[in-house]
Amino acid sequence: MKKVWESKDGSKTRKITLTIEKTTLEDKLKFLGSVVIVAFVYYFFFR
């Protein structure tokens, strides 16, 4: 999931793209982590 911002400065564009990729990756990891935690809680309390 790449978002490239148009800019006259090429290095600035790359930096923004890397920042966006890092953010989306962290969000995905947090989402997966919360899903796993909810699954464990559900399994232990409602089996």
- The reply to whether 24 falls in a domain is yes
Nearest to 23 by CA among 38, 2, 9: 2
- The reply to whether 1 falls in a domain is no
Q: What is the pTM of this model?
A: 0.44
Name the domain count of the chain.
1
- The reply to whether 2 falls in a domain is no
Give mean pLDDT, residues 4-27. 66
**Cα distance between residue 26 and residue 41, in whole Å:** 23
Give mean pLDDT, residues 15-39. 81
**Cα distance between residue 9 and residue 40, in whole Å:** 47
**Cα distance between residue 4 and residue 36, in whole Å:** 32
- The reply to whether 3 falls in a domain is no
Helix intervals (H) in 1-47: 10-45
- The reply to whether 18 falls in a domain is yes
Range of the domain at 21: 10-47
- The reply to whether 22 falls in a domain is yes
**Cα distance between residue 43 and residue 47, in whole Å:** 6
Give mean pLDDT, residues 12-38. 79
- The reply to whether 20 falls in a domain is yes
